[in-house]
Amino acid sequence: MSPTRLSLCLALALAPVAADAADAPHGLQPRELATLDRYSSPTLSPDGRLLVFAKRTVDFDANKGSTGLWIENLVARDAAPPKRLTPEGWNVNSPAFSRDGRTVYFLSAKSGSQQLYAIPAGGGAPKQLTELPVDVGVYKFSPDGAQVALGVETYPDCASDLDCAKQKADAAGKRKTTGVVFDRMFIRHWDAWNEGKLNRIFVAPVGDAATGAPIKAATLVGADVIGDVPSRPFGGDDEFTWSPDGRSLVLSARKADRTEPWSTNFDLYLVSADGKGAARNLTAANKAWDTGPVFSADGKTLYYRAMARPGFEADRFALIAMDLASGKTREIASKWDASADGIVLSPDGKSIYTTAQELGRHPLFSVSLQNGEVTSIWKDGSVSSFVLAGDTLAIAANSMKSGDAISVTSADGRRKPRAITPTAGEMLPAVRFGEYEQFAFPGWNDETVHGYVVKPWNYQAGKRYPVAFLIHGGPQGSFGDGWSYRWNPQTYAGQGYAVVMIDFHGSTGYGQKFTDAISQHWGDRPLEDLQKGWAAALKKYPFLDGDRACALGASYGGFMVNWIAGNWNEPWKCLVSHDGVFDQRMMGYATEELWFTEWEQGGTPYEVPQNYEKFNPVDLVAKWKVPMLVIHGQQDFRIPVEQGIGVFTALQRQGIESKFLYFPDENHWVLKPQNSVQWHETVNGWLKQHIGD
């Protein structure tokens, strides 16, 4: 990056750079992580000349963040830096360009309800385009821009009457009684109780909304598709799409019936944009997950992603092409042992751009529609999002040294990337990040397993350093070359610790067979990998002080910490268990997404109780002896808080040194800025107490 460009990026960051530059060099600190500006949502105009992106800043005292949109002319001769597009004080999300590139759309709750807005790309005042009685969660314009699909939350019996949805919600809020009767699951999901609503897609003509009165009504499409679109809790606008002619849409939905908590059967439904007629199930033959629909330019082919095994949420997502006239399907790149994250068609319609995990990274690939040939476009670190317009490719990518930084390059990725937003190092010039490298060793079954070692920020050759041994969750996940605002190895390196992370059997990015290996084997194969990885790291990296080490993990990583407490105490001076499974049998009954436990354990707790007992930490409590910090959130419905309380009770009852950090307002993750800092300071204090600094 040129000195001029760097200074522009630093100005854009709006961080107290001058003060930071005067600070003495130091490692990444919790408050710096929690308050760091975050960049996301790169969005290109159709001609690739303009780039819009989102920038989130944190008001630490107010304990919240706010997001605005910024815009840059990529072909400006004076190389002007990005400028703010949305007004100060507006918190916005989900940017998109109009067909002509003159208007930028976004969502905001500025009016008190989240609605759709438009703003000239050249700057000006936002105009509210929708004024629905309920919030707009997602949106997508038809290809000709004449209609807009709006995702809203409503009651099934209200049909297209959104005033009915508002009235029912208001009435529920005024009830004097607080009891709620359920007659089926889900009763709660992730961190919210079921209020009887569904996410539905409505369509409205745009008409004169851009210049006249806002849209106040819309028509429900796919009325007979009784399910959440987008799906809960994390579904997005990639779960529905417009046909090229604007006459129909395809929705990805799972039936919201009594089987929903143990089903992963999402199907693709073709529905009329006018709300008439019955939905047509395009993928009824596949009882597993179908999602991410994208039409070819001529509307004759539907591309989508599909899993093959019902009930398994971590199965491989294959790329599928369906001929809509015949219904015949073919898999694209059937020999590519990777799980595709999404589908973006190249401008010439000859390839699919998609990201997928690979060997501890998350690169971007191009996949030929003709022969399935896979080409690497962006290899380094982890690509979180990207957008393609003509020969311009905009990418948000991160690594173990920085959160998302947005760059632009050519569609084939060969042109030298041009940085648009600053890296973490540019925003925090006094921070020194720990150097890191990947290593490999023979793990379970003598199969190759990978891991990462991170040096402390103040590393000096010849010295030995205490170690934070981080265990990832999922369990089908990865601790690799990426950035996290929760479990970030640089926060431990920033305290002067070395970090070891092992992508044990069950991790993603090493082939589906490797991922599958953990199911019904939570406590043996991964534990063997962790033990062998620990030994291999100690042998390869003499700066690791194996006599001063703590093991830490969350979710499955929390389970593994609880399991380690009864099976592998020897190396550890302390343990940290965050939102971890303690009693497998109770987890099988108390968690909300039952398909997870039922796949991982090979059945229900009453059908195969022995499977739930095979690797059950609660059965080995008598062997516990290592001091443990336990952390749990009240709003965690994935692994309910009683699991964490049980761990703490087991420790306290036996007189084992322990602490319990409880968050009444957090879910499976710790998200509020001040809570995040408290989390890190509590964990760091626990490590310092037991392994020093």
* Closest listed residue to residue 368, CA positions, set 390, 353, 386: 353
How do residues 430-463 score in pLDDT, each as one tens digit?
999 999 999 999 999 999 999 999 999 999 999 9
- DSSP assignment of 380-428, as one string? SSEEEEEEEETTEEEEEEEETTEEEEEEEEETTS-SPPEE-S--HHHH-
User: pLDDT per residue over 284-297, tens digit each?
Assistant: 999 999 999 999 99
Rounded mean pLDDT, 60-77: 94
Can you give the pLDDT at residue 610?
98
Give CA–CA dist 549/118, Å, rounded: 53
**77: pLDDT confidence band, cut at 50, 70 and 90?**
low
The answer, yes or no, to whether residue 17 has pLDDT greater than 60, is no
- Per the domain annotation, does 558 fall within a domain? yes
For residue 660, pLDDT beyond 90: yes
> What is the per-residue pLDDT across 123-138, written as a single tens digit (0 to 9) for each?
999 999 999 999 999 9
- The reply to whether 182 falls in a domain is no
Name the pLDDT band for 670 (thresholds 50, 70, 90).
very high
The CATH number that applies at residue 495 is 3.40.50.1820
Answer yes or no: is pLDDT of 481 > 70. yes
Question: Residue 209 has what pLDDT?
Answer: 67
Burial 484-517 (b: 16+ CB within 10 A, else e): ebebbbbbbbbbbbbbbbbbbbbbbbbebebbbb
In a domain, 666, yes or no: yes
> What does pTM read for this prediction?
0.95
Domain span at residue 568 reads 436-597+626-691
* pLDDT over 60 at 74, yes or no: yes
Considering the chain, what is the average pLDDT of its residues? 95
**Kind of pairing between the strands at 628-633 and 658-663:** parallel
* Least confident piece of the model among 17-26, 468-477, 645-654: 17-26
Residue 516 lies in a domain: yes
For residue 446, what pLDDT is reported?
98
Mean pLDDT of 142-150: 97
pLDDT surpassing 60 at residue 10: no
Q: What are the tens digits of pLDDT across the range 223-235? A: 999 999 999 999 9
Q: Read off the pLDDT of each residue in 338-345 and give the average, rounded to a whole number.
A: 98
State both tokens at 645: 């309380």
Please write the tens of the pLDDT for every residue from 408-417: 999 999 999 9
Domain contains 663: yes
Is pLDDT at 11 greater than 80 in this prediction? no
- Number of domains the chain contains: 1
- pLDDT number for residue 1: 41
pLDDT-based confidence at residue 76 (cuts at 50, 70, 90): confident
Of 138, 231, 137, 233, the residue nearest 192 (C-alpha): 233
The rounded distance, in Å, linking the Cα atoms of 214 and 131 is 6
Tell me the HSE value of 337 on the side-chain side, using a 13 A CA sphere.
Answer: 10
Q: What pLDDT, in 10s, does the model give residues 626-649?
A: 999 999 999 999 999 999 999 999
- Tell me whether residue 604 is in a domain: no
Percent with pLDDT over 70 in the chain:
96
* Share of residues in the chain with pLDDT > 90 (%): 94
Query: Quick check: is 525 in a domain?
Result: yes
State how far the alpha carbon of 46 is from the alpha carbons of 99, 319, 344, 602, in Å: 7, 25, 14, 48
Is residue 164 in some structural domain?
no
> Tokens for 292?
């991410």
